Structure formats: structure tokens, C-alpha cells
């Protein structure tokens, strides 16, 4: 059995929709094509890089689309001249690769270097979401009232 039934969790949780969708998407992706090969690296505490091996593609053949929590990288190569290959080991087929991003992770840039497409990602948490220290006012509490009680 390779599929998981999340229906008991759907009944008892609120706001975890994206987590369950990611788990289902990962389960479906197990049988997908793994072209082009890629790496995901952590460059720092809040910096990441996705590197795709796109030999044979030019920067104009590749498009990168950043949406909310998803970055999509697509490549399509059009052969303009008919060539007579004796052996063809370098694949030029079209591809579409999607990566799910955590909240507040944004695509900052992309570079093409020696057949590798490198996409830079940075997590930028808004100031309102960062932890902050709350000052405690000193001195006696003025709004506390003492109740008188008679001994029983």
C-alpha cells in the first residue's frame, strides 16, 4: 500500500490544508520523470539555491515563474536545423519542474553558469511576524483593588 488516507486528519484539523497537499503531491511525484537533474542547497540560515543541469539549453530557452509558494522552471528547445546524429546522448526534451516553497521564501534571482541554472531563494520574514520583546512597566500596580473579607 503506497497511498495514505488523510481523511481522518481533515476532520480534526483546521488550517493544515497546504501540508496535506504537499504530502499528496510528494506521493504522486514518486513515479515522475526526474529530468533535468537538480540540487537543492542551503547556503545560509535563510538562503537557498536550486541548481538544474540544463546542458544544451540557452538562457532564452528557459522560463522561471514565481507564484505564491511555488516556483516553476520550464525549458523548451526548438530544433531549427535538421541534424544527422550518429548518437544522441544529450537530451533536449522539454521539461517542467515545480518546487514548493515555504512561507516567506522568495525567488531573488537566477543565473546561468556552465550549463547549470542556479535559482537563488531567500526567506524574508516580515517584521510583524518576527518575535519581539514586550517591555514590562515597573512600579506598583495601580489598578489592583483589595477586597475586604470577614473571617468566617
| pTM, entire model | 0.67
The number of distinct structural domains making up the chain is: 2
118 against 82, higher pLDDT? 118
The answer as to whether 136 is a domain residue is no
Report how far residue 115's alpha carbon sits from residue 71's, in angstroms, rounded to the nearest whole number. Answer: 20
Residue showing cell 556552465:
114
Report helix, strand or coil for 107: strand
The answer as to whether 17 is a domain residue is yes
Domain that holds residue 28: 1-32
Is 96 found in the same domain as 51? Answer: yes
The answer as to whether 149 is a domain residue is no
> Does residue 123 contact residue 102 with C-beta atoms inside 8 Å?
yes
Is 75 found in the same domain as 19? Answer: no
Q: What is the pLDDT of residues 9-63, one digit of tens each?
A: 666 666 666 676 777 766 665 556 688 999 999 999 999 999 999 988 889 999 9
The answer as to whether 132 is a domain residue is no
Q: What is the pLDDT of residues 94-132, one digit of tens each?
A: 999 999 898 889 999 999 988 899 999 999 888 888 888
Amino acid at each position: 500500500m503506497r497511498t495514505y488516507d488523510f481523511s481522518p486528519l481533515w476532520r480534526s484539523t483546521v488550517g493544515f490544508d497546504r501540508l496535506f497537499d504537499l504530502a499528496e503531491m510528494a506521493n504522486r511525484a514518486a513515479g515522475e520523470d526526474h529530468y533535468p537533474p537538480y540540487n537543492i542547497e542551503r547556503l545560509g540560515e535563510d538562503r537557498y539555491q536550486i541548481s538544474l543541469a540544463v546542458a544544451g539549453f540557452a538562457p532564452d530557452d528557459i522560463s522561471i515563474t514565481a507564484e505564491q509558494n511555488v516556483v516553476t522552471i520550464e525549458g523548451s528547445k526548438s530544433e531549427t536545423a535538421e541534424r544527422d546524429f550518429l548518437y544522441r546522448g544529450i537530451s533536449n526534451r522539454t521539461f517542467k519542474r515545480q518546487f514548493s516553497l515555504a512561507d516567506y521564501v522568495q525567488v531573488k534571482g537566477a543565473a546561468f553558469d556552465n550549463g547549470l541554472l542556479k535559482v537563488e531563494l531567500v526567506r524574508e520574514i516580515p517584521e510583524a511576524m518576527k518575535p519581539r520583546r514586550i517591555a514590562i512597566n515597573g512600579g506598583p500596580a495601580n489598578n489592583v483593588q483589595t477586597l475586604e473579607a470577614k473571617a468566617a
